[in-house]
Structure 1
């Protein structure tokens, strides 16, 4: 089996060396960069299975690095940072990151999150191939290619956003609970407090052109979940 490759962007070289050695001992190839600009260039010239990204870099903010990366690669990104602010956490997930880890991180937890992210990335297309594409008026959902279009224009969804859209659209007019979305998208049991799904649904609505303040395409059932409205796309 081919080794998975990780682009690791971290300005703490001592920490980066320890993390890189640990991941390499578990079969990963790791390319480390201390700064954002060289890392973005590396992502332009080589494909990585996953990107591990710090926020507090010396040359540019990690959020800006993320925006640059998303223009050139579809590789999933996990933020791993010392920033413990809930605002930063929400901002990272709203940008489209697959996960957000606060340092210090247990090596075993980091490995588990990376493996979960890679499993979701590589197994989702094969699962989606079992089903035909979905169409609702101007909205087309191509599950085999993991892409969605409105009037032929790609929505540029992250893997997590696409997963949420497919789960909702697979049950048009029916409520899908936050717990179900969390379990299938995040990969662990919902704790009743985490608002990651809410943030991702909000970002998905924006990309779908839905009114965030009065949504008509994905409606909220307060305290319970969401409903995909199949007739809102005409």
Structure 2
């Protein structure tokens, strides 16, 4: 069955161009131009991925992404003309899986869509016997893309979920930033150390909220990070 990509873009020519390229690659598409229509449309028929423009009439993409993450882990690629690093990190912290700056090649968009959906399928369909043992109190649910500690749910973004799963799968092992990014992003994207540090900071904050007795993710100076079992 073809996967469906929801294109949220108020520039008709650009939206039509992306639809043409996605259709040629075997995807189905839906198109929305007004930000106010996005969340009702997603609730009514969940797509496999959302291409979300940041600047939209009615409601901006940042607000949409933030609220979307309160009820769904559908992959989100944010599209924007803003190229500053602070905006790039903001998009990822809101729960976006990727961030593409305009102008961009439609072929690049299709490649990013394919890479993210491939990773999402791998994470969600891993066989039960392949799931690694996790530290006491930590429960990772691949089917629901969710995690909890000591019975308390952790409200994680998809990237934070993958980061926690990578670290907790091998407690005590020290991962460099490059190793973590290679596990999280497998599409040769150029990212900075600040990106993984930002995700670690957010993940620590959420873990600390449910376990104040100890720090579960430790920084190893000059090397990287490890999960303390």
TM over 0.5: yes
Residue aligning to 2:151: 152
CA distance in 2, matches of 1:128, 1:209: 30
Bigger shift: 144-153 or 219-228?
Answer: 144-153
Give the alignment of 1:132-211 within 5 angstroms. 132=131, 134-143=133-142, 145-189=144-188, 193-209=192-208
How far the C-alpha of 1:216 sits from its partner, in A, is 2.1
Distance 1:132 1:55, change over 3 A: closer
**Number of residue pairs matched by the alignment:** 226
Task: Determine if contact 2:163/2:180 at 8 Å carries over to the other structure.
Answer: yes
Task: Compute the TM-score of the two structures, normalised by the length of structure 1.
Answer: 0.88
CA distance in 2, matches of 1:210, 1:72: 20
Q: Secondary structure at the match of 1:58?
A: coil
Task: Determine if contact 2:115/2:187 at 8 Å carries over to the other structure.
Answer: no
CA distance in 1, matches of 2:161, 2:77: 17
Give the ranges of 4+ consecutive aligned residues of structure 1 lying more than 6 Å apart after TM superposition.
Answer: none
Q: Secondary structure at the match of 2:110?
A: helix
Distance 1:134 1:200, change over 3 A: same
Distance 1:53 1:138, change over 3 A: same
1:12-60 CA deviation, whole Å, 9 max, x = no partner? Answer: 1121111112111211111111111111110010011000101111111
How far the C-alpha of 1:131 sits from its partner, in A, is 3.1
Residue aligning to 1:124: 123
Residue aligning to 1:17: 16
Aligned-pair RMSD on alpha carbons?
Answer: 2.2
How far the C-alpha of 1:203 sits from its partner, in A, is 1.6
How far the C-alpha of 1:187 sits from its partner, in A, is 0.7
Task: Determine if contact 2:76/2:97 at 8 Å carries over to the other structure.
Answer: yes
